[in-house]
Structure 1
C-alpha cells in the first residue's frame, strides 16, 4: 500500500472515530477554541466506540484533562475499555499536576462484561480518590449519573449540574429525588445552572479560579474593586438585620463571589471569590448554624486547605441550633467536624467578627480552636461565652432593679463585658477595624500572610468525626 493510500486509510479511520457527538460538542465548549486534543480515539469495544471521549486542552490558557461520557455510543456504557481511558486521564493528571473535569452522561454499566464492569467502576473510583487534594476535580453532570458513577462524581471537589440532569444512587429510589433541584437541596451539587452551556461555563470559571495543583500558586484573575465602604458602615449600624451575602459582595472583588451549595444550609454562605485578583474561600456565618451549615462550611474550608487557598470568615452567629430534630440528625457530629476542619487547616485563615460571636460557634470559627492567623472585629461585635440574655439571667440577675430593666442589663453587658474592646484588651482579637476599611485591612493582611508555612505533628491523617 502506498503512502498516499495509507494516509487516506488513516484519515477515513480518524473521521469515523471522531465523528460528531454530544460528548465532543461538550468538550469543545469546555476548552478554549481549537485546543482540545483527543486521546485513545481509536479505542473500541468490538466494532463500537468505548462510550467515552477523553483528552486534554486549555482553559484560559492553562492545561486541563477531561473525559465526557458519550450517551450516543452504547448509551455511554461503562466497561473495561471505558474505564481504562478515564484511568489514563487521571494518571496523566497526577503526573503533570493538571486539573480534571469529568462530564457524566451514561445509562450505566456494560452488563455484558459482568465482573469486568464492576472492576472498571472500581478503577475509576480509586483513581478519583488517588488524586483528591492533589489536583482540582470538577464533575459536570449533564445527563444521567447513577449508581457508582454518582459516587465517583461526588468524589470531586465541586459538582456542577444542568437542570435537566439526574443524579442518584438507585433508580428504584430516585424519582424526584434524582433531580438537580434536590441535589442542590441535599448539598450534593455545588451549582445548578439552567442549561448545559451555562453549566459548562460555570465549570470553566471554577477551574480558572483554582491552582493547577496542591503545589502550585493561585492564578491571578482580572478584577475591579467594589466601592462599598458606605454599605459596610451601614451594615454595622444594623448588624442584626444585615445581609451577609451583601457584606461579601462589598468586601471582595466586584462580581467575583460564586456562592456554593446555596440551597443547602440557610444560615450561612460558602463561596469562592477573589480579593485583589487572588482566589479566597469566603465564609459568612449568620444566625444559628444548623447541621447543613456546618457541613457546607467544613467542605469549603477543607477544599481551600488542600490547595492553600486563604479562607476569610465573617462571623455573625449566635451559636448552633439546639433542637431535638437537629440533634437527632447529627448536629453535634457536624459541628465537631466543622471545628475539626478549621483547627486542622493550615492555609491562611482570617476571621472578621462583624456581629454576634457566641459560645462554641465563636470558638469553632474565630477562637483559639479555629487557629485563625488574625482575628478582627467591627465595633458592633459582641463576643460572649453565652448569649447575653442567658449570661444576664444566670450571672447578673441581681442587677435587674426597678431602675434597670432586663433589657438595660443585657445592653450594658454587650457594651462592656462582651464588647469587642474587652476582647481586644484580653488579647483575643488583633484589632477593631472600621467596617468601611474592611477590604483594605484584609488585602494588607493577606499580603502579610502570603508566606505562611506550618508543619503539623507526624501522623497518617487526623480522625475527623465523619
Structure 2
C-alpha cells in the first residue's frame, strides 16, 4: 500500500471516528480555542462507540484533562472501554499534575456487560478518589448522571449542574433535579444550561492552582471601590455577607458556592490582589448543621491546594437544635467544623465584624482554628456566652431602679466584650478601620504566602462524621 493510500485510509478512518457530537462541542467550549487533542478516538466497545470523548487541552493556558460522555452514541452507556478511556485521563493527570474536568451525560451502565460494567465504575471511582486533593477536579452535570456516576461526579471538588440536568442514585420521578441537588449540597452551582455550566467550570479551573504543589494563579484585578461602605456597615451593624465580600475582594471576582444549600453562611472563591482565596462569611444568625458542613467543605478544598481562607465572623453561636433531629446532632456538626478548621494548614485569617459568641468563635477564629491573624472591627462583640447571659450572671447585682438589665448588658458589651478588651487579652491581633479591611488582608496574605506547617506524623485525623 502506497504512502498516499495509507494517508487516505487514515483520513477515512478519522472521519468515521471523529464525528460532530454534543460531547465534542462541549469539550470545545471548555478548552482554549484550537488546543483540544483527543485521545483514543478509535476505541470501540462491543456495540460500537465507547460513548465518551476524552482528551486534553488548555484552559487559560494551563493543561487540563477532560472527558465528556456522549449520550448521542449508545446513550453514553458506561462499560469496560469507556472506563479504560476515562482511566487513561486520570492516569495522565497523575503523571502531569493537571486538573480533570468530567462532563456527565449518560443513562448509566452498559447492562449487556454485566459485572464488567460494575468493575468499570469501580475503576473510575478509585481513580477519582486517588486524585482527590492532588489535582483540582470539577464535574459538569450536563444531562443525566445516574447511579455510580452520581457518586463519581459528587466526589469532585466542585459540581456544576445545568438547570435541565438530572442527578440521582436510583430513579425517582422529579427528585433528581438540579434545584434538589443544590438544596442537598451536592451541586455547588446551578447554571441555566449545559453551555453556561461548562463556562463556569472553565472559570473555576482557571482560579485553582494546577495541583497541590503548584503556586496560585495570578489575575489582573481592580478594587471594588466600595470600601467606604464598610464604615457605614460597621456603624449600623447591618451588612449582608455577599455585600461584604463584594466590597473587600477584587471587583466582580467572587464565585458563590453552595448558595442553594444554606443561607446562614456565604461561601465563595474570589480573588484578592489578584490571588485566589476561599471566603467564609457568616450572616449574623446561628449556625446550623448545613452551615457547618458548607463552611467545612470549602475549608477542606482550599486547604488541599494551599488556597488562603478569609473567614468573616458574625454569628451568635451554634443552633440549639433543628426540628426533626436530635438536638445533640449539633455537637457532632460543630465538632466537624472545628476539626476541619483546626486541621487546615493553609493561610487562615479571621475578621470579626459583629457577634462572635462562645463555641462558634472558638471553632472559626479562636486558638482552635489556628488562625494566623485575627482582626476585629470596632463593631465586634466577643463573648464566652450571649452578652445578656453573661451580664445577668456576672453583673445582675448592678441592676437598680435607675439602671435596668439592658443598660447593664450594654455596659458589659462596651467594656468586657469589646474588641479592645479582646485585643488587650491577646484574643484579637488588631482592631481595624473597616474601610481598610481590603488593604490589610492583602498585606497579611502577602506576608503569609510562604507559610509552611509540619504536623505530627499520622495517617489522617478522625473527622467526626
Partner in structure 1 of residue 374 of structure 2: 375
Q: Determine the structure 2 residue equivalent to 1:122.
A: 122
Q: Secondary structure at the match of 1:339?
A: helix
Partner of 2:253: 256
3-state SS of the aligned residue for 2:450? coil
Determine if the alignment matches structure 1 residue 2 to structure 2 residue 2.
Answer: yes
Shift in Å at residue 96 of structure 1?
A: 0.1
Q: Residue 246 in 1 paired to residue 243 in 2?
A: yes
**In 1, Cα distance between the equivalents of 2:160 and 2:152?**
13
Note if contact 1:392-1:413 (Cα within 8 Å) is conserved in structure 2.
yes
Relative to structure 1, the CA distance from residue 324 to residue 292 in structure 2 (aligned partners, 3 Å threshold; closer, same or farther) is: closer
Of the three residues 248, 258, 275, the one matched with 2:272 is: 275
Partner of 1:458: 457
**TM-score, length of structure 2 as denominator length:** 0.98
CA shift, 1:176, in A, is: 2.2
> How far off its partner does 1:47 sit?
5.6
**Counterpart Cα distance in 2 of 1:293 and 1:301:** 12
1:362 matched residue in structure 2? 361
Shift of 1:175: 2.2
Is the contact made by 1:290 and 1:326 (CA closer than 8 Å) also made in structure 2? no
How far did residue 238 of structure 1 move?
Answer: 1.5
Cα distance in 2 between the residues matched to 1:326 and 1:360: 23
State the superposition RMSD in angstroms.
1.0
The normalised TM-score by structure 1 is: 0.98
- Name 2:180's counterpart in structure 1: 182
**Alpha-carbon distance, 1:403 to partner:** 1.0
Offset of residue 323 of structure 1: 2.5
Matches within 5 A, 1:319-338: 319-325=317-323, 327-328=325-326, 330-338=329-337
Partner of 1:56: 56
Q: Structure 2: how far apart are the matches of 1:54 and 1:111?
A: 22
Q: Take 2:462 and 2:399, find their aligned partners in 1: how far apart are those partners? A: 47
Contact 1:143-1:166 within 8 A present in 2 as well: yes
For residues 94-145 of structure 1, the C-alpha deviation after alignment (integer angstroms, 9 at most, x for no partner) is: 1100000000000100011111000000000000000000000000000000
Name which of 201, 204, 216 aligns with 1:203: 201
Confirm or deny that 1:419 pairs with 2:403.
Answer: no
1:29-428 correspondence runs (5 A): 29-46=29-46, 48-171=48-171, 174-239=172-237, 241-286=238-283, 287-325=285-323, 327-328=325-326, 330-428=329-427
CA contact (8 A) 2:132 2:156 kept: yes
Q: Which moved more, 1:229-238 or 1:350-359?
A: 229-238
Say if 1:164 and 1:179, in contact at 8 Å, map to a contact too.
Answer: yes
- Give the C-alpha shift of residue 327 in structure 1: 5.0
What SS does the corresponding residue of 1:450 show, helix, strand or coil? helix
Aligned-partner Cα distance in 1 for 2:459–2:325: 31
What is the rounded CA distance, in whole Å, between the counterparts of 1:400 and 1:186 in structure 2?
48
CA distance in 1 between partners of 2:420 and 2:214 (Å): 40
Hey, what's the Cα distance between the residues in 1 that align with 2:264 and 2:200? 24
Query: How far apart, CA to CA, are the structure 1 residues paired with 2:435 and 2:225?
Result: 10
Q: Distance between the aligned counterparts of 1:442 and 1:368, measured in 2? A: 19
Unaligned runs of 5+ in 2: none
**What is the Cα deviation at residue 41 of structure 1?**
0.3
1:13 lines up with 2:13 in the alignment: yes
Say which SS state the counterpart of residue 323 (structure 2) adopts.
helix
Q: Aligned with 1:177: secondary structure?
A: coil
CA distance in structure 1 between the aligned counterparts of 2:49 and 2:438, rounded to whole angstroms:
53
Aligned-pair CA distance for 1:407: 1.0
Contact conserved, 1:176 with 1:182, CA < 8 A, in 2? no
Q: Which residue in 2 is equivalent to 1:448?
A: 447
- Distance in 1 of aligned mates of 2:322 and 2:108: 40
Residue 27 (structure 1) aligns with: 27
Native 8 Å contact 1:374 1:430 kept in 2: yes
Aligned positions, number? 463
